[in-house]
Structure 1
């Protein structure tokens, strides 16, 4: 069996507050403490849960010099189109752009793309009913 544990995205030094605004306020993930041995490196970690089960984990790490991932990206799956639309509205109200031009371009799913505050691409999908 192979399972994905986490995806790491890069961010500039001192950008943890902006990362929290996107991952917590925008997408509803929960921040988790980094292990003590890694805290001095900066950055922050986030998780999504289904009850007690961790369903996604994103690590935002500091990179210097920083360059955003504009093509490579994590793709997060939500339950349905209603949740997808709610997240899109939540991101927009928090000041993040949501691109729905490819909403119907992935068989079996609805989707949108957005970017974190640093320009890293993020995709959010919902299975079609």
Structure 2
């Protein structure tokens, strides 16, 4: 076999038209991710892109939008419990999940402003 996978470039989440301001508030203002420029030829499609560690998260506009409530990206976080406390202080509802505690994984979920499920986790 002459090919191999080297990782993930980006994750795309869908959102309704006009989502950009709310996405910026949530992903940059609350989570602290840096907004990155979209290529000029993609700007007319709407949406916004962010940097999350070594990866990118693209928020794309989808007509007849329906949030992803089961399929989700999972983000690795250092000091997950501090991040969880920060979110609670900012009135973000987190959904704790200890299904992987035997594997020494702490994790929780939340919904982005558009109802998409996001997982945050840390190996302990």
Which range, TM-score by smaller chain?
0.7 to 0.9
Query: In the alignment, what sits opposite 2:40?
Result: 36
Alignment of 1:1-129 (within 5 A): 1-2=4-5, 3-49=7-53, 55-79=54-78, 83-100=79-96, 102=97, 104-106=98-100, 107-128=103-124
Superposition RMSD in Å: 1.3
The runs of 5 or more residues in structure 2 that have no matched partner are none
Taking structure 2 as the reference length, what is the TM-score of the superposition?
0.88
**Using the alignment, how far apart are the partners of 1:62 and 1:42 within structure 2?**
6
The runs of 5 or more residues in structure 1 that have no matched partner are 50-54
**Using the alignment, how far apart are the partners of 2:39 and 2:64 within structure 1?**
24
**Using the alignment, how far apart are the partners of 2:62 and 2:39 within structure 1?**
18
Taking structure 1 as the reference length, what is the TM-score of the superposition?
0.85
Q: Which has the larger radius of gyration?
A: 2
